[in-house]
Structure 1
Amino acid sequence: MRKFSIYILGLFLTIAISSCRDKNDNFVAFSLEQDLELGQQVSNEIESDPATYPILDDSEYADAYAYFGNLVDAILESGEVEYRDEFAWEFKIIADDSVLNAFATPGGYIYVYTGLIKYLDQEDDLMGVLGHEIAHADLRHTSRNLQRIYGLQILLSLLVGENPSQLETIAAQIAGTASGLAFSREFESEADDRSVEYLAETRYACNGTAGFFQKLVDQGQAGGTPEFLSTHPSPDNRVEDINKKADEIGCSTTPLNPTTYEDFKNMLPQ
């Protein structure tokens, strides 16, 4: 009888999991609530460690955050972000000029380092990076990664509420690696493509993400791509793929090149 009950439970859970298709039609065993909970826990871990993550105070740097927020909002209001209304979409600037990095946690918490902001040449390039990171969250890449890493057994225990502390453990691991979990070639390409689709519905150059990679190539730093954008495929291949996607959509690749981007950089700690 016990074996039969276990079989029935397993069958029920298998059926439930097989029906876990999200808004992007991807299989995600984590519920939306668990995504939000995990993202909040990762955010708490990050903000409790100012030595590792020196986040700029949003009151002291109100002008910088207002500028930054307008960029984020332009993407969120593009009509292309599937979880626009469900996720938190909070953003923070981390004060470290030595780090070319940005990352997103589940539930839409976005972090960008001052080093990356100052490295980029124009607003369109930063919009491309933001689009890429928003895409990682919106496509639920971290949760989909966790499925691959932790496997069915742990996911089942989370789904039925048997191991609530597991999410806390996972959150600490993600926060401890700064960029969370390394993404596959597939996920990086998905985020690149989705960034183009987001920006195509804004006034910015839809291939903005390519600007960052092109600068790396031009400066001979192709082998030193920051972890957040991965080293696979290579920067020059990604420039080609992003521009190809832009051509397929037929969206504008002309940058705004506003002088206000320099003003934004000057709002940050010097």
Structure 2
Amino acid sequence: MGRNILFFVVIGLFFTLSACDENDNLQVFSLDQEIQLGQQLDSSIMSNPQEYPVLDTARHADAYSYLENIFFGILNSEEVAYRETFPWQIRIIQNDSTLNAFAAPGGFVYVYTGLIRYLDSEDDLAGVLGHEIAHADLRHSMRNIQRQYGIGILLSLILGEGGNQLTQIVAQLAAGAAGLSFSREFEREADEASVEYLSQTPYNCAGARSFFQKLTEDGKTSGIPTFLSTHPNPTNRFEDITDKAQAIGCSTQPYNPPSYQDFQRMLPG
């Protein structure tokens, strides 16, 4: 009898504490907890330079200044729900063999030098960054954790318990951050959000599609981000992004400043 009462108390507490976020998605974690998790993940990445050789911001100030100009330009979009809530941050990871970028909870975004070198224009990079910003802004990482670990562990965290479990989650996210995969639904949402974000910038609002097109033309089958390799194939993604751009009537004219090649040369290698 006691266990039954406890069960209903826990379930009632769950629904009391749960709320919908700015994008009308049910969330168990608070924004503060999400930011805390992102900060812990970032600390884990920074403390593991062998796996994540992050470029120093002081030594590579010019490269960071260029990248942050693109990044924060996209964040100025009124479509980014948490643009003033998350402590948005972008880091460059030196690995020329990896064509990847990923987002951690709370607005922490990471991009590999291999991806920056592979892309042909600033529009292309803006499209990919818009996609990763969307994963953070739509709270996809946190929603993945909810699906993976269930209500019980999440409740223990909300109640201030299970610190070791939080550490375990952070460790698992850090270990698999470069290959963090999202569902087909999440990828579609991030693709569409990227178009919406870029529609309020000088960039080609369908900038992300060039990456898919280039990968298809090059026949890349390894070393590509999981947001390309495990979900709708690049051709379908290209078509869906094009359809979204047409639906909202945004400009697909390339911005493509020639300085992008200068940015690529700023990277060590």
- The 2-side partners of 1:9 and 1:200 are apart by 46
Match status 1:63 vs 2:62: yes
2:26 match: secondary structure: coil
- The 2-side partners of 1:226 and 1:181 are apart by 9
The one-letter amino acid of 2:183's match is S
- The 1-side partners of 2:61 and 2:67 are apart by 10
Contact 2:41 2:104 in 1 (8 A): yes
How far apart are residue 217 of structure 1 and its match?
Answer: 1.1
Contact 1:188 1:230 in 2 (8 A): no
C-alpha distance after superposition, 1:176-226 (max 9, x if no partner): 013363100000000000000000011100000101000011112267642
2:243 match: secondary structure: helix
Contact 2:134 2:190 in 1 (8 A): yes
What are the equivalent positions in structure 2 for 1:97-112 lying under 5 Å apart?
A: 97-112=96-111
- The 2-side partners of 1:146 and 1:11 are apart by 19
- The 2-side partners of 1:21 and 1:34 are apart by 15
Match status 1:6 vs 2:11: no
Q: Specify whether residues 88 and 234 from structure 1 end up closer, same or farther in structure 2 by C-alpha distance, changes over 3 A only.
A: same
- The 2-side partners of 1:57 and 1:254 are apart by 34
Aligned to 1:93: 92
C-alpha distance after superposition, 1:154-197 (max 9, x if no partner): 11211212212211110110010133631000000000000000
C-alpha distance after superposition, 1:29-64 (max 9, x if no partner): 111111011101100000000011111111111000
Aligned to 2:169: 170
Q: Specify whether residues 193 and 98 from structure 1 end up closer, same or farther in structure 2 by C-alpha distance, changes over 3 A only.
A: same
Aligned to 1:139: 138
Task: Give the % identical residues.
Answer: 57
What are the equivalent positions in structure 2 for 1:88-237 lying under 5 Å apart?
A: 88-179=87-178, 181-221=180-220, 225-237=224-236
How far apart are residue 128 of structure 1 and its match?
Answer: 0.4
Contact 2:204 2:253 in 1 (8 A): yes
1:179 match: secondary structure: helix
C-alpha distance after superposition, 1:207-252 (max 9, x if no partner): 0010100001111226764224443100010000000000001000
The one-letter amino acid of 1:35's match is E
Gaps of 5+ in 1: none
- The 1-side partners of 2:246 and 2:222 are apart by 27
1:88 match: secondary structure: coil
Contact 2:19 2:26 in 1 (8 A): yes
Contact 2:187 2:227 in 1 (8 A): no
How many residues are aligned here? 269
- The 1-side partners of 2:7 and 2:168 are apart by 29
- The 2-side partners of 1:13 and 1:35 are apart by 19
Contact 2:97 2:223 in 1 (8 A): no
C-alpha distance after superposition, 1:77-99 (max 9, x if no partner): 11111111111111100111111
- The 1-side partners of 2:65 and 2:222 are apart by 34
Gaps of 5+ in 2: none
Q: TM-score normalized by structure 2?
A: 0.95
Q: RMSD across aligned C-alpha pairs, in angstroms?
A: 1.6
- The 2-side partners of 1:163 and 1:76 are apart by 34
How far apart are residue 11 of structure 1 and its match?
Answer: 4.2
- The 2-side partners of 1:72 and 1:227 are apart by 21
Contact 1:103 1:228 in 2 (8 A): no
Contact 2:228 2:234 in 1 (8 A): no
